[in-house]
Chains A and B, each alone.
Chain A
Amino acid sequence: MTLSNSKLAWQVFSHNKSAMTGSLILLIVLLMSLIGPWFAPHDPAQQFSDKILTPPLWYDNGDFVTPLGTDDLGRDMLSRLLHGARLSLKLTLMVVFAAAFIGIILGAAAAFLNSGLRSLLMRFMDLLLSLPSLLLAIAIVAMIGPGLPNAVYAVVIVLIPQFVKVTQSAISEELGKDYVMAARLDGAGHIRLLLHHVWPNIIPALIVQLTFSFSTALLDIAALGFLGLGAQPPMAEWGTMLSEARAFIQFAPWTMTLPGLAIFLTVLSINLVGDGLRDAFDPRLNR
């Protein structure tokens, strides 16, 4: 694959302070999810019955054994957060790539379909998009039943329409350009036109969509967990942790703040990176 202006895009991106901050946070989160579980001091499910609701270190009665405190069952917050990071990111990646795969194929097909079939498909996608993504996910889970696998399917379905729309409109836009016409007059067939000429030119748009889908997916999975429709206790998942801690927010705020902060920072960093990528690819450099 050739990205002639990938260097230029990197120049723009690396000069963007918020995007670079976002990348740094995201890198740390990714690192945590990759190697974190090996550094986790305890098993995330292990209950220290003598240490129930121990506060983190910076409280007067903090404890070095459980540096970020424990929850209501005496489980180590740090270990649970690290394991949760792996789980959340793994699920998010799976969900986004599955949705992107299906969505891009549908979108590419839509761009080449005749106008009747295309409008049928695109109006159905509009229908799905007209509902808030979380609401739609809840509705789907309500239909197929709660649980982590079903929540994953639901979020995949919710994310697909975005990819279909972005792919279809990007391909349609490119198809109208002179260079595609020129390639067609060079004797290139439909498939070659799409894969060889158009595809490299829509990658930037897809990358940007991909990052924004990451944050939606992460939030939706956590929200489903929080609502008890996704990951079930005792699984160490950020949304589920939030939900379990709800009852103790008054006297053990860390049990809720820490997973909340983890979700917040991750989503924020992804969005910052996404914004940066959009800016880096978007000003289609005068040529």
Chain B
Amino acid sequence: MQSLLSAKLLRKSYKVSNNPFKQRYLEVLKGVSFTLSAGQTLAVVGESGSGKSTLARILVGAEKPDSGELLFEGSNILKDASFSWYRNIRMIFQNPAASLNPRATIRQSLEEPLINAKTGNSQSRKDRIAEVLDLVGLRPEYADRYPHTFSGGQRQRIAIARALMLNPKVIVADEPVSALDVSVQAQIINLLLDLQDRLDLAYVFISHDLGLVQHFSDKVLVMHNGEQKEYGRVGEVFSQPQSKHTLELLNASSSYRRAIEK
């Protein structure tokens, strides 16, 4: 099966000193590779500072890596200036409140990708917004309200709707439920699973919650200090961890400990 999205040895470093005579660089990604097929979920786990957020920003086109390839449907999109990231690879942020413009109605936020893609007229855009709101379990009438009138879970639904507007193939979700209440997290996780079934979406799921990763993902990529420590199918990686960093993460998950004690 041909992979939908694959990364080959992505590297990225940031300049940390502005002194022209003493330039210092901090390597935040040291060669990350993976492949992902439609309908699959790849989880990226690691502690803060492990480079997983940088990886997410590269995958959605917000930043360019220093080297490496990113293949989407077989072509290297890092070299293709005509590639529209926003039609194909979208992002869901950790904090839905911050990712929605507080002074724009939901309709204005959802319309944005449609306007930039120059698709349809105002009526067809309106229909599409209603359709997608329905898809994420919100009432179409909500479109004319402002973000602060919604609860956290509803806002994350809106953020998901915005990602879906242009029928993307890949969604990068950066800790999509960690800012939400526990009883609401499950709603959003279920919604993401439903959408994956219906739309054959591929997810890159960035998380620190191994329970969630195990439940939600097919593959897992363990990162530590920008290095790819382990990559493989979730069942295999978690049952027979090869790297000590994976083991550390597993041990830290206290429910894991409880499970093996029983």
Binding site for B on A (CB under 8 A): 2-5, 177-179, 181-189, 192, 197, 200-201, 285, 287
Provide 26 A-B residue pairs closer than 8 Å at the C-beta atoms, listed in order of the A residue. A3-B103, A4-B105, A4-B146, A4-B147, A5-B103, A178-B93, A179-B98, A179-B99, A179-B101, A181-B93, A181-B99, A182-B93, A182-B162, A184-B62, A185-B61, A185-B85, A185-B86, A185-B90, A186-B86, A186-B112, A186-B116, A187-B85, A187-B116, A192-B116, A201-B103, A287-B97
Does the CB pair A183–B112 fall under 8 Å? yes
Does the CB pair A201–B101 fall under 8 Å? yes
Which residue in chain B gives the minimum CB-CB distance to A187? Answer: B116
A281 to chain B, nearest CB (A): 12
In the complex, what residues of B have CB within 8 A of residue A177's CB? 98
Determine if B8 is an interface residue (Cβ-Cβ < 8 Å): no
Q: Which residue of B86, B93, B95 contacts A187 across the interface (Cβ within 8 Å)?
A: B86
- Per-residue contact bits, chain B 2-20, to A (CB 8 Å; 1 contact, 0 not): 0000000000000000000
Complex formed: what's the CA distance from A188 to B112 in Å? Answer: 8
In the complex, what residues of B have CB within 8 A of residue A186's CB? 86, 112-113, 116, 162
Q: Which residue of A2, A179, A188, A287 contacts B116 across the interface (Cβ within 8 Å)?
A: A188
Which residue in chain B gives the minimum CB-CB distance to A181? Answer: B62
Determine if B84 is an interface residue (Cβ-Cβ < 8 Å): yes
Does the CB pair A183–B101 fall under 8 Å? yes
Q: Which residue of A188, A192, A285 contacts B148 across the interface (Cβ within 8 Å)?
A: A285
Determine if B54 is an interface residue (Cβ-Cβ < 8 Å): no
In the complex, what residues of A have CB within 8 A of residue B91's CB? 182, 185
Determine if B50 is an interface residue (Cβ-Cβ < 8 Å): no
Which residues of chain B in 126-169 are interfacial with respect to chain A, using CB atoms and an 8 Å cutoff? 146-148, 159, 162
B-side interface residues, number (CB < 8 Å): 30
Does the CB pair B112–A4 fall under 8 Å? no
Does the CB pair B95–A178 fall under 8 Å? yes
Does the CB pair A200–B103 fall under 8 Å? yes
Determine if B77 is an interface residue (Cβ-Cβ < 8 Å): no
Complex formed: what's the CA distance from A285 to B87 in Å? Answer: 33
In the complex, what residues of A have CB within 8 A of residue B252's CB? none
In the complex, what residues of B have CB within 8 A of residue A285's CB? 148
Complex formed: what's the CA distance from A187 to B83 in Å? Answer: 11
Does the CB pair A4–B98 fall under 8 Å? no
Determine if B60 is an interface residue (Cβ-Cβ < 8 Å): yes
Given contacts A2-B105, A2-B108, A185-B90, contact A179 B100 (CB under 8 A): yes
Besides A178-B99, A186-B112, 8 new A-B residue pairs in contact (Cβ under 8 A), listed by A number: A2-B103, A3-B103, A5-B146, A179-B101, A181-B99, A183-B101, A184-B62, A287-B102
Question: What 7 A-B pairs come out closest when comparing CB atoms?
Answer: A187-B116, A4-B146, A178-B98, A187-B86, A287-B148, A178-B99, A186-B112
Does the CB pair A5–B112 fall under 8 Å? no
A23 to chain B, nearest CB (A): 24
B119 to chain A, nearest CB (A): 11
Complex formed: what's the CA distance from A184 to B103 in Å? Answer: 16
Given contacts A2-B108, A185-B90, A186-B112, contact A179 B62 (CB under 8 A): no
Which residues of chain B in 65-109 are interfacial with respect to chain A, using CB atoms and an 8 Å cutoff? 84-87, 90-91, 93, 95, 97-105, 108
A198 to chain B, nearest CB (A): 9
Complex formed: what's the CA distance from A5 to B147 in Å? Answer: 11
Complex formed: what's the CA distance from A144 to B97 in Å? Answer: 52
